[in-house]
């Protein structure tokens, strides 16, 4: 079953002892860590188990819900008290109990997340998976959404958005606490499928991120066993290039580089050539810092893939975090490691007033524009004439007494110039392009673009669950996760990440929803509640270009990709206490040493050379 997408066959006829032996093997050729591979012979030739009609139907009427033991594990009965909220009201698991049905149906509970790449594939293929004419009338789908697009706890709005992706043939409910989590060997990756016999409410099999052929295979065999019918002979999955199942190959093709970033309606100058040219000049202008020694290019060097190669970046003083590349930042949904800016132009403004970066202020920047760039500015922002700033202090920003002393009109005039500087820089960053990598050529159909070890490592990338967060053209979900990378803070304290900015995010001065946006209606939908799951959470970094942007992590503490791979595999267990915080997420795989060593083989392919 080489390359099977993490399918866990655990049907009634398969002994759990045999499964345990398979799960503890070191084979990393294709199955998910902790999954069990059942050979073709054992599946197709084994005799169906002996079973009887449901004992819970008495005189044609349902009896009480089956007795325990209650547990979300194989061969046990699903707890009857599990109820989940949905846009249409509560969904009780016990409502699916139908002991008097002429034939068993399978309740397929799919635990999923809106941020997750493999979940996105399954969402798009819901009709294909569940609509197979061989069994469509015997499946009941219940999607349990654990998190929204940003990895915040799922709410009703997120559920409604999910329903638009998967359709209304099944049900979608909320499971933000991930209560419906099977207690099986390492089954952490999403989406997680649990197949339940509706006549007995017994878990008959489970799967994680199954390819479509294996999904059909498990359903057909499960139904045959429940019907006491011969097991059908179902072909094994087909593989692209002899390695990748359909879902994995589809996701690989989805990783191909795209050219232009998505439109940004919040910046009316986003794609104006003159604005980009002006922004390019400003990007490298160190005189926009009071000391004259820091520019955007200081930390985002075009010669270093628009990063700086330092563990923590240095502006006017040493910072606390690693500078990510801005080469493809125009494609990102959130900016900064903690996502405190929701547009590229708002991100460009942050460093100017940061005491460790530029150490400046908006009034200082505005005065520089008035003094040195009146023509360039006027050519782009003609509808916003430069104000007369004579007589104002050399620098001032919100929170300074000098700023408070200005009139409201003066503050607005200065901020308008400041915002336009950010929009010009963003326009320049939107022009940045990177060259395709060997992965792009492979995704385009050149089977010789990757070596055999690289292909095996790419397959392992899926087996290990990396595709959950690292997907799409930039190989990121732009969501926030707790992976417990070590801190880069100069005081040595653990960096709390997203949790510290959430309470004030909705009040941020330059959000896309504010009057400084050119399209406030284009604001992102997000939750600003300080959810405990966001303690220690940081934005998923893109993997495109990762081969050239060491060191790694928000604290810049890992010098090599091998160190990063080992950290993921060990789930941060080797870190010194106090250097990180937060609870690592259950779907993060804990893969073995061989896998940790092999994964960098494909990561080293992921270059992003700047295109002049």
Q: How far is CA 445 from the centre of its chain?
A: 26
At 301, phi and psi to the nearest 5? -80, 125
Residue 219: which H helix or E strand, with range?
A: helix 212-226
Q: Do both 320 and 182 map to the same domain?
A: no
Residue 128: which H helix or E strand, with range?
A: helix 126-130
Domain that holds residue 26: 7-253
The answer to whether residue 384 is domain-embedded is: yes
Average pLDDT over every residue of 63-74: 89
DSSP string for 437-476: -HHHHHHTT-TTSS-HHHHHHHHHHHHTTGGGTS-TTTT-
Q: Do both 537 and 551 map to the same domain?
A: yes
Question: With bands split at pLDDT 50, 70 and 90, how would you rate the model's confidence at 101?
Answer: very high
Give the residue from 184, 219, 253 where a domain finishes: 253
The answer to whether residue 248 is domain-embedded is: yes
Nearest to 538 by CA among 465, 476, 493: 476
The answer to whether residue 144 is domain-embedded is: yes
Between CA 521 and CA 524 the distance in angstroms is 9
pTM of the shown model: 0.90
Q: Do both 220 and 277 map to the same domain?
A: no
Residue 137 has pLDDT above 70, yes or no: yes
Question: With bands split at pLDDT 50, 70 and 90, how would you rate the model's confidence at 182?
Answer: confident
498 with 480: CB under 8 angstroms?
A: yes
> How do beta strands 171-174 and 139-145 pair?
parallel
What are the angstrom distances between the C-alpha of 611 and each of 304, 305, 431? Answer: 12, 10, 10
CATH number of the domain within which 427 lies: 1.10.760.10
343 with 267: CB under 8 angstroms?
A: yes
pLDDT tens string 354-392? 999 999 999 999 999 999 999 999 999 999 999 999 999
Residue 28 has pLDDT above 80, yes or no: no
Q: Do both 248 and 397 map to the same domain?
A: no
Between CA 380 and CA 366 the distance in angstroms is 15
Q: What is the pLDDT of residue 36?
A: 32
CATH number of the domain within which 20 lies: 3.40.30.10
The answer to whether residue 189 is domain-embedded is: yes
Q: Do both 312 and 218 map to the same domain?
A: no
Between CA 348 and CA 343 the distance in angstroms is 9
Q: Do both 140 and 268 map to the same domain?
A: no
Cis peptide upstream of residue 292 (ω within 30 degrees of 0): no
Q: Do both 141 and 96 map to the same domain?
A: yes
Residue 39 has pLDDT above 60, yes or no: no
The answer to whether residue 372 is domain-embedded is: yes
Q: Can you count the helices (H) and strands (E) in the chain? A: 20, 12
Between CA 460 and CA 408 the distance in angstroms is 58
Q: What angle do CA 463, 14, 221 make, to 5 degrees?
A: 80
Domain count, the chain: 2
- Helix 156-166 / helix 117-124 crossing angle, nearest 10 deg: 50
580 with 485: CB under 8 angstroms?
A: yes
Q: What are the residues facing 91 on neighbouring strands?
A: 84
Q: Do both 183 and 108 map to the same domain?
A: yes
Q: Do both 590 and 573 map to the same domain?
A: yes
Q: Do both 470 and 593 map to the same domain?
A: yes
Give the residue from 218, 253, 288 where a domain finishes: 253
Average pLDDT over every residue of 418-440: 99
Between CA 432 and CA 149 the distance in angstroms is 26
Q: Do both 553 and 568 map to the same domain?
A: yes
The answer to whether residue 97 is domain-embedded is: yes
Give the residue from 253, 280, 311 where a domain finishes: 253
The answer to whether residue 2 is domain-embedded is: no
The answer to whether residue 385 is domain-embedded is: yes
At 190, phi and psi to the nearest 5? -110, 150
What the block records as the tokens of 87 is 């846009």
Average pLDDT over every residue of 81-105: 96
Q: Do both 249 and 286 map to the same domain?
A: no
Question: With bands split at pLDDT 50, 70 and 90, how would you rate the model's confidence at 11?
Answer: very low
């Amino acid at each position: 079953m080489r390359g099977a997408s993490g399918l866990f066959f655990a049907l009634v006829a398969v002994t759990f002892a045999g499964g345990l032996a398979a799960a503890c093997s070191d084979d990393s050729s294709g199955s998910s860590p902790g999954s069990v591979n059942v050979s073709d012979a054992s599946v197709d030739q084994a005799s169906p188990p002996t079973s009887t009609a449901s004992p819970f139907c008495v005189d044609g009427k349902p009896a009480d819900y089956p007795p325990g033991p209650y547990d979300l594990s194989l061969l046990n009965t699903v707890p009857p008290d599990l109820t989940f909220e949905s846009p249409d009201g509560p969904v009780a698991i016990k409502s699916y109990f139908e002991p008097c049905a002429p034939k068993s149906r399978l309740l397929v509970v799919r635990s999923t997340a809106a941020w997750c790449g493999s979940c996105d594939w399954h969402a798009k293929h819901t009709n294909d998976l569940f609509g197979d004419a061989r069994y469509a009338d015997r499946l009941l789908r219940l999607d349990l959404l654990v998190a929204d697009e940003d990895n915040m706890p799922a709410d009703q709005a997120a559920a409604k958005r999910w329903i638009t992706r998967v359709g209304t043939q099944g049900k979608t409910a909320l499971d933000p606490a991930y209560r419906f989590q099977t207690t099986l060997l390492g089954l952490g990756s999403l989406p997680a499928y649990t197949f339940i016999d509706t006549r007995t409410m017994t878990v008959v099999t489970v799967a994680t991120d199954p390819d479509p052929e294996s999904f059909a295979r498990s359903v057909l065999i499960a139904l045959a066993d429940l019907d006491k019918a011969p097991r059908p002979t179902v072909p094994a999955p087909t593989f692209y290039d002899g390695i990748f199942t359909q879902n994995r190959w589809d996701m690989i093709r989805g990783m191909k580089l795209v050219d232009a970033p998505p439109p940004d309606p919040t910046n009316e100058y986003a794609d104006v050539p003159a604005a980009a040219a002006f922004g390019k000049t400003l990007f490298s202008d160190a005189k926009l810092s009071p000391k004259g020694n820091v520019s955007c290019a200081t930390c985002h060097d075009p010669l270093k893939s628009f990063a700086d190669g330092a563990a923590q970046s240095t502006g006017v003083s040493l910072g606390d975090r690693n500078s990510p590349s801005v080469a493809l930042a125009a494609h990102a949904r959130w900016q900064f490691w903690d996502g405190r800016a929701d547009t590229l132009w708002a991100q460009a403004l942050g460093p100017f007033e940061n005491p460790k970066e530029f150490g400046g202020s908006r009034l200082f920047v505005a005065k520089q524009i008035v003094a040195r760039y009146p023509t360039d500015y006027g050519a782009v922002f003609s509808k916003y004439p430069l104000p007369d700033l004579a007589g104002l202090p050399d620098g001032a920003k919100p929170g300074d007494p000098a700023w408070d002393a200005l009139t409201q009109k003066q503050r607005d005039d200065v901020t308008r110039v400041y915002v336009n500087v950010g929009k010009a820089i963003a326009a320049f960053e939107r022009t940045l392009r990177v060259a395709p990598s060997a992965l792009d050529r492979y995704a385009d159909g050149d089977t010789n673009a990757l070596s055999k070890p690289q292909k095996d490592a790419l397959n392992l990338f899926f087996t290990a669950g990396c595709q959950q967060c690292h997907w799409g053209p930039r190989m990121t979900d732009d969501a926030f996760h707790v992976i417990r990378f070590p801190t880069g803070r100069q005081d040595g304290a653990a960096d709390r990440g997203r949790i510290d900015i959430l309470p004030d995010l909705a009040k941020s001065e330059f959000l896309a929803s504010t009057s400084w946006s050119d399209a406030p209606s284009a604001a992102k939908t997000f939750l600003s509640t300080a959810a405990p799951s966001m303690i220690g959470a940081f934005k998923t970094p893109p993997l495109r270009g990762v081969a050239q942007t060491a060191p790694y992590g928000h604290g810049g503490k890992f010098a090599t990709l091998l160190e990063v791979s080992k950290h993921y595999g060990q789930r941060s267990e080797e870190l010194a206490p106090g250097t990180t915080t937060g609870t690592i997420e259950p779907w993060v795989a804990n893969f073995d040493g061989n896998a940790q060593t092999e994964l960098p083989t494909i990561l080293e392919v992921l270059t992003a050379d700047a295109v002049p």
